[in-house]
Chain A
């Protein structure tokens, strides 16, 4: 193993820790105002929406809304439906994996 790789590991460790720890240390003893809490209440839904959609509509690094090219789209619709109906993350994951596997086999 080269020193470059160790440098990357320790550098990446610091770069990952800073955004995680700063809000903890800054806010831990502060009362967060109700306005900030209101704003923060949208963070989970916006973060997960951003994560999901910025992944889903790209197939091999290209934007694609064609469900026969971008094989992730149809399984995603199924997972959305199952998640909405069952509210169960584990079942949603299993259905998602089965659906994408079938799509990859079929196309």
Chain B
């Protein structure tokens, strides 16, 4: 149904291997936290399969330990993962004419790390295909499931320093950010998004701030390039006269 060749898997693996490696410490730490919050190994495996969200699953552990109600936890997770709406919208233009099974599986495996990897490959690597993208996603998902499951077996006696574990992602996202600064306009827009994200986080105290910051900053970028284009058109118009 999905037609993924051995080469698709191999090429996907080459581009996603650092994400798979980063999921080992993150997944272990997440498994430990969920085990502490009273989740069984089997349930952590199911959660990592169905939810597949690092930050979101850490938050579940935190909120359950704090005694939050299921509904408030589910709503929080919705906000944390709402940014995937933008990522899914950004990727779908590269994934035309696939089967419904492909879209469902691809959607389920969209996270920050697979999005960053795929968007860079689709924009810079002419050999990147939807099949390679899906194989990369599935490999990342697999690494997350196995690592978080293993974390539940390590148990609560091992203390993984969370600041360092979290920095694995911070460093990865910085590198992905640098990769995405393609022009001066992108740089301006990145600075605007960063400032907005900080301010909105202070005001809203909610992960939806990420989405709002990205939407506003992208709109500013859109206005800048359209303004430049109309200026250029005006100059061209003058020359024509």
Contact = CB atoms under 8 A, between A and B. Distances in A.
Given A5-B38, A55-B170, A72-B163, 19 more contacts: A2-B38, A15-B81, A16-B53, A19-B82, A24-B107, A42-B186, A42-B189, A42-B217, A42-B218, A43-B86, A43-B90, A44-B119, A45-B186, A45-B190, A48-B190, A50-B209, A53-B197, A92-B171, A93-B22
Contact of B116 (A27, A48, A49, A57): A48
Contacts of B107: 17, 20-21, 24
- Mostly, the B contact residues are helix
Interface of A: 1-2, 4-25, 27-29, 32, 35, 37-58, 63, 71-72, 75-76, 79-80, 83-84, 87-90, 92-93, 95-97, 100-101, 104
A80 B174 contact: yes
B110 A20 contact: yes
Contacts, number: 272
A42 B98 CA distance: 25
A5 B89 contact: no
A74 B180 CA distance: 22
B80 to A, nearest CB: 9
A7 B72 CA distance: 12
A84 B174 CA distance: 10
A43 B171 contact: no
B218 A39 contact: yes
A70 to B, nearest CB: 11
Contact of B180 (A21, A48, A72, A75): A48
B8 interface: no
Contacts of A18: 78
B73 to A, nearest CB: 5
A92 B93 CA distance: 29
Nearest to A92: B175
A97 B171 contact: yes
A40 B214 CA distance: 10
Nearest to A7: B70
Contacts of B86: 43, 47
Contacts of B219: 39
Interface stretch (B39-47, B141-149, B233-241): B39-47
Determine which residue in A16, A18, A75, A92 has the highest number of CB atoms from chain B within 10 A of its CB, and name it.
A16
B217 to A, nearest CB: 4
Interface in B184-241: 186, 189-198, 201-202, 209-210, 213-215, 217-219, 221-222, 225-226
B85 interface: yes
A11 B177 contact: no
B70 A57 contact: no
A80 to B, nearest CB: 6
B168 A96 contact: yes
